[in-house]
């Protein structure tokens, strides 16, 4: 049985307007083996949605399907009303230019400066000159403003590799914002951070969602973080949605269906993270 409530139950300014991302009856299969089965999901303007699931539940595949990196076998994925499955290569490139991605391992260019790493997020929009390193004054100003927004403008000239993990993740968030994204996908963004830093990064992401009116989909392993830092929770188990509900209507017991027999392991994972 799936625990479900209306996606609009988040209320207030969050969720105002139609979905930015709409997934309907999505099936993704590799060599006829289904990884996702019958997945439905909406991501509404301004909301943060936590994506929960054990290893192998299909979380990463779901995220990859939103940008066409995982093959859509049947069903549909729409971003701003446009069907991802029908997009050709050039259209997919344009789509990906408007999807901000934040990864567990940061994916920064370690020897380049923090500022250059953020500027790289604007390459899709700025034309070929930027491939030669010619960033405009306007781009540099925006990148510095974004670094200030995430709290590390004072590190702009330093190489990315000199920063702590939490600071590098903030650079990655600023880089994603440089894309002027329609949606942000954050795949285990705090898995390598200690609990205090994890809280601060997730607080930052949720604030961005609300202030900019864009949805953030964040995959997490730790239940208390999901409950503290999201408006809704979507739980996957063996490729199927088993929870889709407003966070305010959930607690750890209600989410136990996501992990089943693996809940004990999840508890030890929470202890590891604090």
For the cut 50, the answer to whether the pLDDT of residue 266 exceeds it is: no
Two tokens, residue 190: 């705090």
Domains of the chain (ranges, CATH numbers)? 17-98+185-274 (3.40.50.300), 111-180 (no CATH)
For the cut 80, the answer to whether the pLDDT of residue 80 exceeds it is: yes
pLDDT at 260: 75
Residue with tokens 């739980």: 235
Residue with tokens 């139950």: 9
Q: Which of 245, 230, 215 is nearest to 44 (CA)?
A: 215
CB–CB of 37/27 below 8 Å?
Answer: yes
Mean pLDDT (the chain, rounded): 86
Using the 8-state DSSP alphabet, how is residue 62 labeled? Answer: H
Q: What mean pLDDT is predicted for residues 113-135?
A: 71
Give residue-wise pLDDT tens across range 89-104: 999 999 999 999 998 8
For the cut 60, the answer to whether the pLDDT of residue 128 exceeds it is: no
pLDDT at 252: 85
Q: What mean pLDDT is predicted for residues 33-62?
A: 95
CB–CB of 183/43 below 8 Å?
Answer: yes
For the cut 80, the answer to whether the pLDDT of residue 127 exceeds it is: no
For the cut 90, the answer to whether the pLDDT of residue 270 exceeds it is: no
pTM for the model: 0.87
Q: What mean pLDDT is predicted for residues 203-223?
A: 95
């Amino acid at each position: 049985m799936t625990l479900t409530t209306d996606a609009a139950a988040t209320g207030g300014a969050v969720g105002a307007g139609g979905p930015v991302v709409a997934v309907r009856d999505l099936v993704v299969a590799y060599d006829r083996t289904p990884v996702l089965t019958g997945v439905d999901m909406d991501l509404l303007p301004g909301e943060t949605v936590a994506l929960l699931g054990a290893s192998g539940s299909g979380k990463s595949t779901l995220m990859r399907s939103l940008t066409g990196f995982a093959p859509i076998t049947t069903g549909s994925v729409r971003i701003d009303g446009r069907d991802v499955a029908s997009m050709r290569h050039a259209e997919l490139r344009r789509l990906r230019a408007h999807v901000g991605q934040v990864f567990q391992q940061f994916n920064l260019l370690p020897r380049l400066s923090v500022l250059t790493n953020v500027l790289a997020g604007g390459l899709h929009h700025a034309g070929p000159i930027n491939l030669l390193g010619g960033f405009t004054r306007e781009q540099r100003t925006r990148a510095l403003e974004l670094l200030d927004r995430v709290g590390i403008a004072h590190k702009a000239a330093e190489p990315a590799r000199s920063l702590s993990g939490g600071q590098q993740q903030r650079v990655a968030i600023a880089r994603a914002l440089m894309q002027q994204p329609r949606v942000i996908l954050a795949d285990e963004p705090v898995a390598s951070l200690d609990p205090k830093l994890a809280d601060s990064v997730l607080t930052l992401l949720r604030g961005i969602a609300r202030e900019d009116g864009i949805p953030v989909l964040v995959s997490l392993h730790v239940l208390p973080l999901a409950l503290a830092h999201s408006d809704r929770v979507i739980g996957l188990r063996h490729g199927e949605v088993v929870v889709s509900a407003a966070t305010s209507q959930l607690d750890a017991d209600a989410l136990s269906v996501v992990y089943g027999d693996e809940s004990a392991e999840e508890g030890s994972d929470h202890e590891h993270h604090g």
